[in-house]
């Protein structure tokens, strides 16, 4: 007799903590990376409870994903993450011998189609300069935030990576800074002469904070604690809100990382530059770096201007009587 395609809700709910513990302490996954997966599963349990579902079928899991997409307005990419969370967790239930899990066809749940995102829109170099110039470097916090935002941009750090930096992560002898990235990955980032001087000056300013000698954190809060990710985000938002409108809709600390990558590829989009950028950004996979390789409007406009079509059309008289502009004239306008 074949196993029924049903998992009891009480069994589904019972092993979530066990899966998290196994993932962190045995298979070496990072706890922070599992938070979203755990949230997906807890939300699924909440959905099943509210709908009084005691026996989970594949159809019920599709109802959960439909609820996430239509009622919670989750993006297709977020729904795909929820789908992946369910697949990984039910594989764990199979490992634990939970009734119904072995035959449960979770792999048959179809993926969500993620729409093409088009060209990349990032802050222009002048906008990055305007953002940094707006900081009040006569104040203690202003000096700190100038160093914070400079590192977010020039070292392309994630906010969590920057907040985790310690004073001892800076190696002035080797001219680099050790960054603790996602998934316990560590990388050394080079420091040029300007950044070295900036960090030396910052270490002097840092001593003015209360509790500067109490902990190892490179960046401190007003109370002398490690500067939190949320505080960096809040301070950044206040600064952005005080300035004229930017060319992109969402200007966040992470936008500085995107801007660095985009500005790098606008200057040089060769394979070598992509390899360097992958290392710089701390990516494990090239597909993560290729997200930044989508051409900006500036690059598309330049490519159109330099295309052979411009040479061909330069000699063609248009409907008006005036002769068309030469390629050199068009390039000057572009």
Question: Any idea which residue has 């500085």 for tokens?
Answer: 256
Angle at 221 between CA 157 and CA 174, to 5 degrees: 45
Task: Please report the pLDDT score of residue 3 as a whole number.
Answer: 61
Neighbours of 15 (CB within 10 A): 18
- Options 37, 82, 83, 158, the catalytic residue: 158
Whether 67 sits among the annotated catalytic residues: the reply is no
Report the chain (334 residues): mean pLDDT per 10 consecutive residues. Answer: 79 95 89 89 96 94 96 94 96 94 92 77 88 91 94 91 94 92 80 93 90 86 91 94 89 90 79 81 78 71 76 65 56 54
- Options 60, 92, 182, 226, the catalytic residue: 182
Whether 320 sits among the annotated catalytic residues: the reply is no
Whether 82 sits among the annotated catalytic residues: the reply is no
Task: Please report the pLDDT score of residue 323 as a whole number.
Answer: 56
Whether 292 sits among the annotated catalytic residues: the reply is yes
Whether 182 sits among the annotated catalytic residues: the reply is yes
pTM (two decimals): 0.69
Task: Please report the pLDDT score of residue 240 as a whole number.
Answer: 93
Whether 154 sits among the annotated catalytic residues: the reply is no
Task: Please report the pLDDT score of residue 329 as a whole number.
Answer: 59
Lay out the sheet containing 186-190: strands in order across.
170-171, 176-180, 186-190
Rounded Cα distance between 210 and 30, Å, is 32
Q: Is 133 exposed, middle or buried (0-12, 13-18, 19+ CB in 10 A)?
A: exposed
Class of domain 7-108: mainly alpha
Q: Which residue ranges make up each domain of the chain?
A: 7-108, 125-292, 297-333
CATH architecture of the domain formed by 125-292: Orthogonal Bundle (1.10)
Helix (H, G, I), strand (E, B) or coil at 226: strand
Hey, which bits of the chain come out as E strands? 7-8, 55-56, 170-171, 176-180, 186-190
- Options 81, 143, 206, 257, the catalytic residue: 257
- Options 141, 154, 254, 330, the catalytic residue: 254
Taking the chain, what is the end-to-end CA distance rounded to the nearest angstrom? 73
Question: Any idea which residue has 């995102």 for tokens?
Answer: 117
Select from 104, 148, 150 the least CA-distant residue to 128. 150
Total residue length of the chain: 334
Tokens (6 digits) for 191: 């420091």
């Amino acid at each position: 007799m074949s196993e029924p395609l049903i998992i009891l809700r009480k069994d589904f709910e019972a092993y979530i903590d066990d899966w998290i513990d196994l993932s962190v302490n045995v298979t070496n996954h990072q706890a922070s990376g599992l938070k979203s997966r755990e949230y997906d599963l807890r939300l699924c349990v909440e959905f099943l409870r509210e709908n009084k579902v005691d026996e989970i079928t594949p159809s019920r899991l599709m109802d959960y994903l439909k609820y996430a997409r239509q009622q919670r307005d989750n993006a297709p990419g977020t729904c795909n993450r929820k789908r992946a969370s369910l697949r990984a967790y039910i594989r764990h239930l199979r490992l634990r011998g939970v009734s119904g899990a072995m035959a449960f066809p979770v792999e048959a749940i179809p993926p969500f189609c993620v729409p093409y995102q088009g060209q990349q829109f990032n802050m222009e170099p002048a906008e990055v300069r305007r953002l940094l110039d707006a900081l009040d470097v006569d104040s203690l916090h202003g000096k700190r935030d100038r160093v914070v935002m400079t590192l977010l941009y020039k070292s392309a750090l994630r906010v969590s990576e920057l907040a985790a930096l310690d004073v001892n992560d800076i190696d002035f002898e080797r001219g680099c800074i050790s960054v603790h990235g996602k998934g316990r990955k560590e990388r050394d980032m080079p420091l040029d002469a300007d950044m070295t001087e900036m960090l030396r000056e910052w270490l002097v300013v840092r001593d003015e904070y209360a509790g500067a000698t109490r902990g190892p954190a490179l960046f401190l809060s007003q109370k002398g604690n490690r500067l939190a990710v949320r505080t960096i985000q809040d301070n950044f938002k206040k600064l952005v809100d005080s300035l004229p409108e930017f060319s992109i809709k969402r200007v966040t600390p992470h936008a500085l990382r995107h801007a660095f990558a985009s500005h790098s590829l606008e200057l040089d989009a060769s394979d070598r530059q992509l390899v360097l950028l992958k290392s710089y950004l701390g990516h494990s996979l090239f597909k993560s770096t290729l997200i930044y390789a989508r051409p900006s409007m500036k690059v598309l406009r330049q490519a159109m201007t330099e295309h052979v079509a411009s040479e061909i059309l330069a000699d063609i008289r248009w409907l008006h009587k005036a002769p068309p502009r030469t390629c050199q004239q068009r390039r000057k306008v572009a």
